[in-house]
Amino acid sequence: MRIKFFTAIMILTSILCTAQQDAQFTQYMYNTINVNPAYAGSRGALSIFGLYRTQWVGLDGAPETSSFSVNSPINNSNLGVGVSLVNDKIGPTNENTLSADLSYTVQTSADFKLSFGIKGTANLFNLDINKLNPENQGDPQFQDLNNKFSPNVGAGVYWHSNKAYIGLSVPNFIETNRYNDNDIAIYKDKINYYLIGGYVFDLDKYQYIKFKPAVLAKMVEGAPLQVDVSANFMFNDKFVVGLAYRWSAALSAMAGFQVSDGLYIGYAYDRETTRLNNYNSGSHEIFLRYEFFKNNGKITTPRFF
């Protein structure tokens, strides 16, 4: 009974909160294109990425997120393009977001490039009221929403080299009311601001061991500032292990393996540091990335991001 009651409170909080946030990812450094369109084509390869995240395992209606994206530079031009699809399920809601990205990159120095990006998004939102088990099934205040469509636009900048990056972005400039009750928005997507950065240090002269601290800050009106910090080690350009901390929320362990020049697989496990830890067994996140390179199919510079 205690778990069911707590689950209902968490679901209602997620659905009715006026400061609804975007889906969150622990391995944000590999999934940058979802929040910053300027990332499109920055790896210099056709990059295919797929991720699945199940959050708060053991809670009914807990978030489940699937993400798929493809991005690539366009021939020898300064342009990059990308397309991504995110499916986000929370309790009685199911959202599908399709985005198209376009970036333009200029060389700012021998090592660094500056990319500008724009994003166009189409969102389909579904709400199944029956999953909330209302006392009066016929109450006109409660109604299903099927594939409610809303467009949006976003933009970002991304300054990067083979060892460092920093980016600032707003994926959606338009605030969207998903659900209204008597003309009052009770489910609303607010504007999310993202700041992301990281640097790769070589810890030995042979570059067998690399260390990369990274940070992501997400700001949204009406919600606490969310800060994710991580520290990853890469060994022999193959194995990656690390830890991450979501400020006042969760502690995470991460691991990755470069299976081949093109294929990389990563996994993360989150454990809540709040009282929510008493009601779930953690969160799991796994992703695959496959890339096609022009230089005889070989990766030229292994990267963390």
pLDDT for the residue 8 = 45
Helix ranges, the chain (H): 2-16
* Topology of the domain comprising 1-304: Porin (2.40.160)
Neighbour tally for 232: CB within 10 Å: 24
> In one letter, which amino acid is 103?
S
Q: pLDDT at position 3, please?
A: 43
φ/ψ of 149, rounded to 5, equals -95, 135
DSSP string, 68-97: EEEEEE-TTSSEEEEEEEEEEEETTEEEEE
Q: What is the pLDDT of residues 122-168, one digit of tens each?
A: 999 988 877 776 655 555 555 667 888 999 999 999 999 999 999 99
The answer for residues whose C-beta is within 8 angstroms of residue 77's C-beta and 6 or more apart is none
pLDDT at 131: 74
Query: CA 278, CA 110: separation in Å to the nearest integer?
Result: 51
Global pTM value: 0.86
Position 281, amino acid: S
Position 223 confidence tier, pLDDT thresholds 50, 70, 90: confident
Gap between the terminal Cα atoms of the chain: 44
pLDDT at 9 over 90: no
- The predicted structure's pLDDT at residue 99: 98
* pLDDT averaged over every residue in the chain: 86
User: Comparing 56-70, 140-154, 275-289, which segment has the lowest mean pLDDT?
Assistant: 140-154
